[in-house]
Structure 1
Amino acid sequence: MIDWKKWKHVTKLDPDKTITPKAVAEIVDSGTDAIMISGTQNITKDNVSHLVEMLKDYSIPKVLEPAGTEGLRDDMDLIFVPSILNTDVAFWLMGVHKIWVQHFDVDWEKIVPEAYIVMNPRSAVAMVTKAKTEMTPREAAAYGECADRFFHFPIVYVEYSGTFGDPALVRAVREKLHGARLYYGGGINSREKAEEMARYADTIVVGNAVYEAEGVEKLRETIVK
């Protein structure tokens, strides 16, 4: 069984973005602990399958993080399932999950629930889920504490999605977690930023840097363990 709790660095690949097989090979060889296939917009069965096909011959742990039921498949090592905490739209906390469970044969051994705190108002995930992103570190920490203590989510994920976040807010969430692992994602494209957030997060997630110029080199800089 894959021990995802030991991961320090995860690379996120977006099915809606273009990447070459050569870049995928370099990412797998970079030292990252796992590959997560995840995106918000234009996620289809075909573009998810395209990424999975490029990864199939590698032994690195592979995670699917579905935004909905599109692209769902059962041949991944794990499925990280997000619930958005800071939204009034209940569909993103429970509704889409109910549809999935009702219509698909779920392999619960592969499921890892995530409690998302979405912080970038300009991100696709914030706009789609109508996330309430204006909050203080204390408010964010309260979301994290509720996710951990009330609902026993194994992962609390602070998501700044494309922009580098507030270390003080991430630290505040960290201080309120008892059992959950803290994931951080957003704007990490250098060693300095990786080290900053790795001080508080158990796992940092790097995505957009892969698609920038010298993307794989930037990715290697972010691997701090």
Structure 2
Amino acid sequence: MTHVQPERLPLVLEWNQKVISIPSSASIIIDRIGSTPPDIYGNGRDSRVTPCEVTSQTRERFETAMICVQRDAPVQHHMRFRLGSEIAEVRESQLALPRVVREASSRAEEMRMGFSPTLIEMPDGKRLVMNGMTSFMANKGYAASDARVVSDSFLGESQLPDFIAIPSDIIYFIIDGDPAWTNKYSNDAKSALPPKGWIRRLFAR
């Protein structure tokens, strides 16, 4: 069972009203960007997240957004959720790491409790370390798109590299769907999803 904080309940109830999808034009961009896979220990397997920039229907701009495809309600209190139905436009984010770098971060093995390092290198030779699944980079003076994976071991570094700076304002735009899907994030999801009436049935008991 999951405790839903009172301030999160309005969003969950709104999520429950209908299937949430995005336009096929946005799904094409999402496919091109590519999702960040779950790590090798299964963390993140309940959702499919793709880093991008989102412009909302009210013209708000979110440079560090995640398209989050999942079956479950947006109940996790540590994540900042919005509904995917708010999305007007999707484009690549200047702060998103290249797909190959994000995939490498998901394959990192744990060295010790909660520490799964992956080394990356910037064009000037500076090395940084990511810890576990990483999608965004906000280190001043560097472009995330320039990051390249380094095959060297973290323990082999003569000088410990700085940690990558991760934005703290990531917004997860939740979309209904099976997180295992690779190409379908749009209205096609409707036929594969059960009705969302479970909340109404729960409260009716």
Using the size of structure 1 for normalisation, the TM-score is 0.23
Which structure has the larger Rg over C-alpha atoms? 2
Between 1 and 2, higher relative CO (CA 8 Å, sep ≥ 6) is seen in 2
Greater percentage in helix: 1
